[in-house]
């Protein structure tokens, strides 16, 4: 009888958290939760109802009307629904990306998302990635991992992703953007990026994605018994 577990994956942008977490979830039979998509869905809802000049009071009021759900699909993708509507594609636009930081810093929003994830974890094994999963959201997680990689390596990975989509992005510009994002994430008033004291630190700079997946999968198997 395998027990239900919580796997918390934290780390900076571009460290491979989401892609690795999804593959481990598929392989180990876990429910993957995309915490970032939940914040994006809330941001989209606020923008659609208030425009770009929303206030914190607007956001807190609208939270009462939002019902979020996520489905982890067999192909490894994660679908996010807001009030019954699949918003998985719409939440990836630039306007949402521009405003998500302001909304995710609101305490009421973080409490809403954290409560939602805790409820989902009650009757299933889950793997969640983010900035503060192992430090704030699930401080008692069975497995805590902090995935990292150098700024240079993360920039190269992002450049490769863009190239596969037919976009040529300057690597040096990506380095600047990633370094700025790291600084912002580590200095946020709430939900700041940091390594939990008991998290396993994994530098993926010289590892293949499959090596990282295999390593975490073995940890999961051991924890589930």
* Three-state SS letters, 186-210: HCCCCCCCCCCCCCEEEECCCCCHH
* Residue 54 in this model has a pLDDT that exceeds 70: yes
CB-CB contact of 69 with 79 (8 Å): no
Predicted local distance difference test score (pLDDT) of residue 6: 96
Domains of the chain, CATH where assigned: 1-30+125-225 (3.40.50.300), 36-124 (3.40.50.300)
pTM above 0.75, yes or no: yes
Predicted local distance difference test score (pLDDT) of residue 107: 94
Other C-beta atoms closer than 10 Å to the C-beta of 89 total 9
**φ, ψ (nearest 5 deg) of residue 160:** -65, -40
Q: What is the pLDDT of residues 123-146, one digit of tens each?
A: 899 999 999 999 999 999 999 999
- Residue of 53, 78, 76, 55 lying closest to 68 (CA atoms): 78
Calpha distance 31→22 (Å, rounded): 9
Confidence band for 63, pLDDT divided at 50, 70 and 90: very high
Q: Which residues contact 136 (CB under 8 A, 6 or more apart)?
A: 110, 114, 191
Which DSSP string do the residues of 112-146 spell out, in sequence order?
Answer: HHHHHHHHHTTSS-EEEEESSIIIII-TT-SEEEE
* Residue 3 in this model has a pLDDT that exceeds 80: no
Predicted local distance difference test score (pLDDT) of residue 1: 53
Signed CA dihedral, 17, 23, 24, 25: sign only: positive
The maximal CA–CA distance of the chain, rounded, in angstroms, is 52
Confidence band for 2, pLDDT divided at 50, 70 and 90: low
CB-CB contact of 134 with 202 (8 Å): no
């Amino acid at each position: 009888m395998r027990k239900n577990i919580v796997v918390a994956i934290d780390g900076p942008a571009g460290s491979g958290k989401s892609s690795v977490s999804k593959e481990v979830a598929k392989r180990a039979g876990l429910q993957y939760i995309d915490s970032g998509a939940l914040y994006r869905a809330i941001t989209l809802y606020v923008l659609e109802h208030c425009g770009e000049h929303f206030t914190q009071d607007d956001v807190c009021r609208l939270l009462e009307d939002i019902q979020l759900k996520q489905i982890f699909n067999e192909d490894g993708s994660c679908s996010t629904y807001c009030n019954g509507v699949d918003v998985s594609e719409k939440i990836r636009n630039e306007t949402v990306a521009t405003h998500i930081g302001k909304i995710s810093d609101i305490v009421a929003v973080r409490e809403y998302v954290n409560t939602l994830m805790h409820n989902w974890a009650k009757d299933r094994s889950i793997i969640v990635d983010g900035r503060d999963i192992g430090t704030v959201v699930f401080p008692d997680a069975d497995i805590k991992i902090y995935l990292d990689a150098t700024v240079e390596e993360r920039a190269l990975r992002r450049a490769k992703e863009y190239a596969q989509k037919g976009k040529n992005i300057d690597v040096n510009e990506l380095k600047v953007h990633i370094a700025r994002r790291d600084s912002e994430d580590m200095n946020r008033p709430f939900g700041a990026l940091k390594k939990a004291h008991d998290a396993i630190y994994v530098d993926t700079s010289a590892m293949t994605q499959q090596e990282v997946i295999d390593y975490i999968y073995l940890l999961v198997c051991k924890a589930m018994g």
